[in-house]
Chain A
Amino acid sequence: MPLQARGLVYEVRGMRLVDGIDLEVASPGVTVVMGPNGAGKSLLLRLLHGLLVPTAGEVRWNGRVFDEAARRRQALVFQRPVLLRRSVLANLEFVLRLVPGAGRDEALQWLEHVGLAAMAERPARRLSGGEQQRLAMARALALRPEVLLMDEPTASLDPASVVAIETLVNEARDEGTKILFVTHDVGQARRLADDVVFLHRGRLAEHTPADAFFERAVSPEARDYLAGRLVL
C-alpha cells in the first residue's frame, strides 16, 4: 500500500504551487494534511490521486509508477460533492457497477451505513449539504479503497454533519482503510489525526506523529498556525 511522493513539483504558468514534496504514506490510520489556504493541500491530494500530472518528481504506489490501476485502489471525496442528476440510490449503484459482484443490496447496505436509507429514492441533488457529503462518502467507501483521500469534506457543513462524517472516517480507519484528510481546522485535526503533514507555500514544513505535532510542532510555521497566529 505505501504511497510515495518524490520531489513532487507542480507549476502553473511558471508559478510553483507545489515545491519539491517528499512524502511517504505507509502507516495505517488517518494522516491529516494541514496548512493555510494556498499551501497546496488540495493540489497535493490531486497529485497523489493522479488527477494532476506533476511538473517534476513522481508518485509511486507499492514501489511502482502511479497508474490507473493504482488510482482504482484509491477513492477521493471532494470538498463539494459531485452528485449525478439521479436518485440517491442510483448514485451509489453507478459506482458499484465498477465493483465486481456488487449490486443493489450492497448499495442499500451502504446507504444504511451512512444513515441515508430512508432517502434512497430522493433526487441526490435535493439533499442537504451534509447528506450530500455522506452520500459522497458512501460512494467512496463502496469502492473499497485502500486509501481514501478527503479534500476538506466538512469545510462548509453544520456541526452535526461534521460529527457524522468524522464518525464514518473513524469507522473506515478502524476497518483498515488508510485515510488522507485535508483540513485547515485545527480542532478537527486534533480529533482525527494519527500523524500530521503540514504544508506551507507548497513545501512540506513537517510530517510528525499527531501527539508530537500538537504538543510541540517542529516547524515555526506550524507552531504559529497552531497558536492561532496568521500564517501567510
Chain B
Amino acid sequence: MQDFGHAFVLAFDLVFSADADLIEIVGLSLRVSLTAVAISCAIGLPIGALLAMARFPGRGAVLVLVNALMGLPPVVVGLLVYLMLSNAGPLGWLELLYTPTAMIVAQAILVTPIVAALSREVLEQLHEEYDEQFRSLCLSPRAAVAALLWDARYSLLTVALAGFGRAVAEVGAVIIVGGNIAHLTRVMTTAIALETSKGDLALALALGVVLVTIALSVNAAVMGLRASASRMAYG
C-alpha cells in the first residue's frame, strides 16, 4: 500500500514539474492521434456523406460492413498494418515500420469507420429533413453536401471527438507497429503498459492521470458543444 501511495506522490510530482519524458510522450500521443483523426475525417466524412445521400444496390450491406468495422480490434489492425509495412510486406520499401507514421496509419484505419458510420447517421437525418427544400431550390449536389456538412458541424465535431477518444486510448495497434521505442514511438498507452510491467508505477500512473484527464476533457467538450448547439437550435 505504501508503495502505491509513494507512486501517487511521485506521479503528481512528475505531472506538476512538467517532466521532460512525460511531456515528450504526451506530445507524441497527441500528435499521432490528432493526425490520425484528421486523416480519418478527410476520408470518413465524404464516405459518410455519400452513404447518407446516395441510394445504390448493396447499400445495406455496405452500412452493415461500416458499422461492423467500428468494432475492429486494435491488435488485429496493428497486425495487418505490421504485415503490410514489414520488410517482407508489400509496403516494406517505405520503411515506415516503428515510426510515428505507421502509428498514424494504424489509428486512422481504426478511426475512419467510426467517423464514416457516425457521420452517416447524422447526415442522413439532416438530409431527409432538407432534401425536398434543396431539390426545390435546384441546389447542385456539391452545394447540398456543403450545406449538410456545415449545418451538421456541431454533431460532426462530436463524431471527430469520439474518434479521437478511441485513438488516444488504444494500445494494441500502436504497440505492434510503433514498437514503443523510447524518444521515438513511445506514446502514453504503450508507456503505461511498459512501465507497469517494469514496476515503475510512478511514470505509469502519471501518464494514466494525463490520459484520464484528456479523456474527461474530451467528453466534457462533447457535452459542452451539444449544450451550446441545442441552445442555438443548431444541433
Contacts and interface: CB of A to CB of B under 8 A. Distances in A.
Given A123-B232, A123-B234, A86 B136 contact: no
A84 B232 contact: no
Interface in A112-171: 123-126, 143
Nearest to B131: A82
A102 B138 CA distance: 17
A218 interface: no
B235 to A, nearest CB: 8
A83 B17 CA distance: 52
B232 A75 contact: no
A1 interface: no
A72 B138 contact: yes
A143 B139 CA distance: 13
Residue of A82, A95, A125 most packed against chain B (CB within 10 A): A82
Interface in A72-86: 72, 75-76, 78, 82, 84-86
Contacts of A76: 136
Taking residues whose C-beta sits less than 8 angstroms from the other chain, chain B's interface range is 10 to 19
B145 to A, nearest CB: 14
Interface in A48-94: 49, 51, 68, 71-72, 75-76, 78, 82, 84-86, 94
Contact of A95 (B137, B151, B152, B233): B137
A75 B138 CA distance: 10
B232 A126 contact: yes
A186 interface: no
A82 B137 contact: no
A212 interface: no
A134 B147 CA distance: 22
B135 interface: yes
B147 A94 contact: yes
Nearest to B151: A85
A51 B132 contact: yes
B136 A75 contact: yes
B219 to A, nearest CB: 23
B234 A82 contact: no
B233 A86 contact: no
Contact of B138 (A68, A86, A123): A68
Nearest to B152: A85
A76 B131 CA distance: 13
B234 A85 contact: yes
Contacts of A126: 232-233
Nearest to A50: B135
Contacts of A231: none
A72 B147 CA distance: 19
A51 B133 CA distance: 10
A82 B133 CA distance: 7
Interface in B110-162: 129-130, 132-133, 135-139, 147, 151-152
Contacts of A125: 233-234
Contacts of A51: 132, 135-136
Nearest to B126: A85
A26 interface: no
13 contacts: A51-B132, A51-B135, A75-B136, A82-B130, A85-B232, A86-B234, A98-B137, A98-B138, A98-B139, A124-B233, A125-B233, A125-B234, A126-B233
Interface of B: 129-130, 132-133, 135-139, 147, 151-152, 232-235
Given A68-B138, A78-B132, 13 more contacts: A49-B136, A51-B135, A51-B136, A75-B136, A78-B133, A84-B130, A95-B137, A98-B139, A123-B232, A123-B234, A125-B234, A126-B232, A143-B137
